[in-house]
Structure 1
């Protein structure tokens, strides 16, 4: 996948877990930075690279620390159990201070789970070009969209000449201790700190958090429309199996109810709706009512609903670039990580705005970042002003014709009855 032009010349920030991806024995650590820079240059990324290496630095040889620091690699000490959470916290802080266009790279084997879940949600809201390197074979089922994914050994094998460094000079980059909030530029001072009684007590009594903090779990729902999305197109994918039309409900109210709910949040763009179901099972009066209000139908068997919805979404996005919104009415997509993965990845690529509706509120927060969510029954219960006025003119005219004809027939029948009684 190629990145955008602005990101290709913007800053690149690298977070490196040294335990998962260590410096190989006999490898010149001064080559780490030029190897990464060479890999980026090969795919067109020429911006300045900043690298931070995380690990238990009491276990890292001095010659590696000196070599890394001499090439501008910042070195962070933290206990192994906290590396993942400390890296992620620094990553979130950096994102807050460095808006796109910019590029992020994660070197770690531990991106899956809550790390990838939370970062995927962040990427849907604010998109950065994202890269990864790991020591294991790359997986295809991650939530995150990467512009490139390298094996660690492959990355270090990139040709590059290490910069000349005079040993013994003061380090060029900073050494940090996350356990004590300590930093310095001298390896000697750094070693002295790590071996001190104060550091040992602080790390034992008050170590960095081991639990990764998912920052997006605190995000609210039902945001008012942003200016770029307020009048943009809205495409609705509706799974009629998960969210059926209630018995006795006037199906003509579905479209105006959805439109009314969106307008309450200031979304006024044109709405297109596609209903997915085995339409042989849908009552004819529902099909007629929905069709009369401009709802499209996709006849699908239950086991291919999801794939058909994804295909429809992909086709629609090709013809309708952002700003635009997608609304998904489905229990399966809202509650199943597997079902929402492809849509999550598509939202990261397209920068679309997203809405969700479901018949039952999911037990866990969906990975999809939404501007609004509704219970299906609540969505259908939205008050619609003047249903007759919201229907297409052709349908209204047809109804008027049918009513008038019925009224005329009724009058004729009454007149026949009067004549019959008169001459009986």
Structure 2
């Protein structure tokens, strides 16, 4: 008999662990909620990925360490729509997906979730911690497993970095390389003119200033070389995955 599987995507930035609650107890509650749905029975497998755009701040390094210790994958990102499709590609229906996020964000995903439901996946949505904690804690019977569709249990989508360990992951998130990646994402999304020094966040650190200045000069040269073309250029960073096993972030 095939093992029943479920995936949980938890936007921990929008739905942080409630004050006064133990992170591992919260995970057990999530696990129990999936089991209670009746879709994943005894001895099934559940993978949980906690997603946030500033993980070292929310939930913070201590909670990251505790979640990672029990097999929760951590992903630095501000969206996860493709994660739903990636898991669906590797786990044909009937699989179960739970999304934990704010009510508004779940509304934005309504079309995607409806499409996956039409394909035979079971969709669970959770945005109310009070409902999750309303019942008495029950003993869970499923196993927590690492999501097989993720590039690494510790992945930064901003910089496309797959870290080999939690320590490497947190080091990367505090690095100049990541700070520049965050700025690059912000500037690209908001169509910032990066040829104008007044628009750049100089002054945070000498290392970041150097990267910003190099990028600005390169863009100024490209813009002037294209004659009348005006406005900001798109991202100039290579869009590929770095494996920190061979090159650790500093």
Same-fold call, TM > 0.5? yes
The reply to whether residue 62 of structure 1 matches residue 61 of structure 2 is: yes
Answering whether residue 167 of structure 2 is matched by residue 188 of structure 1, we say yes
Q: Deviations over 1:196-228 (max 9, x none)?
A: 1111112212469869xxxxxxxxxxxxxxxxx
Q: Please give the TM-score of this superposition, normalised by the length of structure 2.
A: 0.60
Q: CA deviation at 1:133?
A: 0.5
Relative distance call for 1:210 and 1:98 in structure 2 (3 A) is: farther
Q: Which residue of 1 aligns with 2:73?
A: 74
User: Where does residue 209 of structure 2 map in the other structure?
Assistant: none
Give 2:153's match in structure 1, choosing from 158, 174, 179.
Answer: 174
1:133 to 126, 130, 151: 126
1:335-365 Cα offsets, whole Å, 9 max, x none, are: xxxxxxxxxxxxxxxxxxxxxxxxxxxxxxx
Secondary structure in structure 2 of the residue aligned to 1:24: coil
Change (3 A) 1:23 1:209: farther
Please give the residue correspondences for 1:102-181 in structure 2 after superposition, counting only pairs within 5 Å: 102-109=95-102, 110-113=105-108, 115-124=109-118, 126-134=119-127, 151-156=128-133, 159-160=137-138, 174-181=153-160
1:17-416 maps to which residues of 2 (within 5 A)? Answer: 17-44=11-38, 45-46=40-41, 47-55=44-52, 56-59=54-57, 60-78=59-77, 83=78, 86-109=79-102, 110-113=105-108, 115-124=109-118, 126-134=119-127, 151-156=128-133, 159-160=137-138, 174-206=153-185
By percentage of residues, which structure has more helix? 1
Q: Which one has a bigger Cα radius of gyration?
A: 1
Instruction: Map Cα deviations across residues 350-409 of structure 1 (whole Å, 9 max, x no partner).
Output: xxxxxxxxxxxxxxxxxxxxxxxxxxxxxxxxxxxxxxxxxxxxxxxxxxxxxxxxxxxx
Q: Does the aligned pair in 2 maintain the 1:178–1:208 contact within 8 Å?
A: no
**For 1:156 and 1:176, how far apart are their aligned partners in 2?**
29
Q: Give SS of 2:17's match.
A: coil
Label 1:24 to 1:209 Cα distance change in 2 as closer, same or farther (>3 A): farther
Give the superposition deviation at 1:19.
2.1
Q: 1:18 to 1:71 in 2, by over 3 A?
A: same
Stretches of structure 2 that go unaligned for 5 or more consecutive residues are 141-151, 191-250
Cα RMSD between the aligned structures? Answer: 2.8
Structure 2 distance, partners of 1:161, 1:209, is 47
Encode CA deviations 1:27-80: one digit per residue, 9 max, x unaligned: 1111232222222333432221100111121212222111111111111112xx
Alpha-carbon spacing, 1:29–1:120, altered in 2? closer, same or farther (3 Å): same
Q: Are the structure 2 counterparts of residues 43 and 202 from structure 1 closer, same or farther at C-alpha, using a change threshold of 3 Å?
A: closer
Q: 1:179: Cα distance to partner? A: 0.6
SS in 1 for 2:106: coil
Tell me if structure 2 keeps the 8 A contact 1:33–1:71: no
TM-score (norm 1): 0.37
